[in-house]
Homo-oligomer: A and B are copies of this chain.
Amino acid sequence: MNKQLNALQLWLANQNIDGAFINEPNTIAYLSGYESEPHERILALAVFAKGEPFLFTPELEKEDALKSDWTHNVYSYLDNEDPWALIAKHLRSHNNNLSKIAIEKDFLTVGRFEKLHSFFQTASFLDITPKIQAMKLIKTPDEIKKMMEAGKWADRALEIGFNTIKEGISEEEIVAEIEYQLKKEGIKEMSFETMVLTGDNAASPHGIPGKRHVQLNEFILFDLGVVYNGYTSDVTRTIAFGEPSKKAKEIYAVVLQACNAALNAVKPGITAGELDKIARDIITDAGYGSYFTHRLGHGLGSSVHEFPSIMQDSDFVIQEGMCFSIEPGIYVPGIAGVRIEDCVVVTKNGCEVFTHTPKTYTSL
C-alpha cells in the first residue's frame, strides 16, 4: 500500500471514522497511483479504517486499473447499471457497519451525495477535504523532484516561445509552436491552457490567446506550465519585443521588484498574508495598487491550483515542503499588462524556485 493511502487509513482509525468515499480523480491518483479522467462517469476510491480499500471504475477502465500500480480490489460497473447500488453493496461488503463516512465536500456534488446518502441514511458524513489538503500540502522529496522536472519543462516551453517571436506572428501560432515542440519532446499535457498575450491583450490577467499579432514595442506575456509524471509547473514571464513605452517599462520594474521581494521573503514561519503584503505594498506604493487585481499566488502540486491561497489577510503559516506560486501583476488597459511568476518549494531557511528563465527585463 502506498504511504499516502496508509497514512489516510491510520488517520481514519484515529478519528473513529469508518471509511472514506473519494471521487476526485486527482486525489484518487494521489492515493492509489491510478490516474484516470472518467468524464461524467464515476470513478471512486473507498478507504476503510479497518479492511482493504477498493477502486470502483467504469467497466471500460477496469483493465487499465488492474494494470496500474494499484494492488487491491477493482470493482466496475457497466453503463446500464446503477453505479450507486453497486457502490453501496461493495462498501457494505468491506465494512457492514459504516456509521461515520468521510466525503470530499469540495468535490462531491449534491446529486452524488444524495445518492450515496440514500443507501446510508443513518450514517453521519464528515468533510475529508481539509485532511486531503493537509496531506498534499507538504511535498515529499519524490514529489519535489517531479515538480523540479516539470519546472525545467516550463523553462523549455518559454525558450521555444521566445524563439518563435517575430513581428506579425499571432498569439495562437506561438501557442501552437510551444505545444507542438513539447509534444514531440514527450510532454503529453499542459497544466492549463497555454497563454500567450500580446500588447493590450495582456492587460487582461486571464486573457484568452487569439488572433492578435505580435507588434513592435510591446510586451508579450507567457503564462504556462506542463504536467510531468503527474505533477505540474506554472510560470509567467513578460518580455519586451522592441522598446515598450517608458510607462510600460516602469510597470515592469515595479512587478519585478514585487516578485523578487516576495521570493526573498519566503521561509518557514511567515504567513501567506505577509507574503502578499510585501508584494502588494511595493505595487501600491508605486501607485498601481488598484491594478493588481488578484492574490499573490496559489499552492500547486499534482494539480496546478491547490491549497493554500497566498492572499491578503491570510494568517496561514508557511512551512518547509510547501509549494506555491509568487505571481504579482499590474494590468493597466491601454498601457501594459505585466505579470512575473515563479513557483517555489519552501526550504529550511528560504525557498528554491522551480523555473530558472531570467526575470530581469529582457527585450528581443
Residue-wise, chain A 189-218 has the 8 Å CB interface mask toward B (1 for contact) of 100110000000000111111110000000
A189 touches B184 (CB 8 A): no
A293 touches B110 (CB 8 A): no
Q: Which residues between 233 and 272 of chain A lie within 8 Å of chain B, taking CB atoms?
A: none
Is A159 among interface residues, defined by CB-CB distance under 8 A?
no
- Tell me the bound Cα distance from A107 to B40 in angstroms: 11
- Tell me the bound Cα distance from A206 to B25 in angstroms: 15
Identity of the chain B residue whose Cβ is nearest the Cβ of A106 in the assembled complex: B111
Pick the contact of A111 from B105, B204, B309 — CB < 8 Å? B105
Residue-wise, chain A 333-349 has the 8 Å CB interface mask toward B (1 for contact) of 10000000000000000
Q: Which residues of chain B have C-beta atoms less than 8 A from A205's C-beta?
A: 60
B311 touches A80 (CB 8 A): yes
Is A361 among interface residues, defined by CB-CB distance under 8 A?
no
Q: Which of A64, A79, A113, A180 has the most CB atoms of chain B within a 10 A radius of its CB?
A: A79
Segment at the interface with B among A170-178, A318-326, A351-359: A170-178
Smallest distance from the beta carbon of A36 to chain B beta carbons, Å?
Answer: 8
Is A166 among interface residues, defined by CB-CB distance under 8 A?
no
A108 touches B106 (CB 8 A): no
Smallest distance from the beta carbon of A337 to chain B beta carbons, Å?
Answer: 11
A79 touches B180 (CB 8 A): no
Is A39 among interface residues, defined by CB-CB distance under 8 A?
yes
Smallest distance from the beta carbon of A14 to chain B beta carbons, Å?
Answer: 23
Is A312 among interface residues, defined by CB-CB distance under 8 A?
yes
Q: Which residues of chain B have C-beta atoms less than 8 A from A94's C-beta?
A: none
- Tell me the bound Cα distance from A249 to B263 in angstroms: 60
Identity of the chain B residue whose Cβ is nearest the Cβ of A210 in the assembled complex: B188
A314 touches B80 (CB 8 A): yes
Q: Which of A36, A109, A177 has the most CB atoms of chain B within a 10 A radius of its CB?
A: A109
Evaluate whether A107 and B109 lie within 8 angstroms (CB atoms) in the complex, with A79-B309, A189-B193, A206-B60 already known.
Answer: yes
B313 touches A80 (CB 8 A): yes
Q: Which residues of chain B have C-beta atoms less than 8 A from A180's C-beta?
A: 176-177, 179-180, 183
- Tell me the bound Cα distance from A172 to B103 in angstroms: 37
Query: How many A residues face the partner with a CB closer than 8 A?
Result: 58
Pick the contact of A64 from B59, B184, B206 — CB < 8 Å? B206
Residue-wise, chain A 298-329 has the 8 Å CB interface mask toward B (1 for contact) of 00000001100101111000000000000000
Is A61 among interface residues, defined by CB-CB distance under 8 A?
yes
Q: Which residues of chain B have C-beta atoms less than 8 A from A189's C-beta?
A: 193
Chain A interface residues toward B at CB < 8 A: 36-37, 39-40, 58-61, 63-64, 78-80, 103, 105-111, 113-114, 127, 129, 172-173, 175-177, 179-180, 183-184, 186, 188-189, 192-193, 204-211, 293-295, 305-306, 309, 311-314, 333
Given contacts A39-B305, A80-B313, A106-B111, 19 further A-B contacts (CB under 8 A): A39-B192, A58-B294, A59-B293, A60-B206, A60-B294, A78-B293, A80-B311, A80-B312, A106-B109, A106-B110, A108-B109, A111-B129, A172-B186, A173-B183, A173-B184, A176-B179, A176-B184, A177-B180, A188-B208
23 pairs, CB–CB < 8 Å, chain A vs chain B: A36-B206, A37-B193, A59-B294, A60-B293, A60-B294, A64-B206, A64-B207, A78-B293, A79-B294, A79-B312, A80-B295, A80-B311, A80-B312, A80-B313, A80-B314, A105-B111, A106-B110, A107-B109, A111-B129, A179-B180, A180-B183, A186-B211, A188-B210
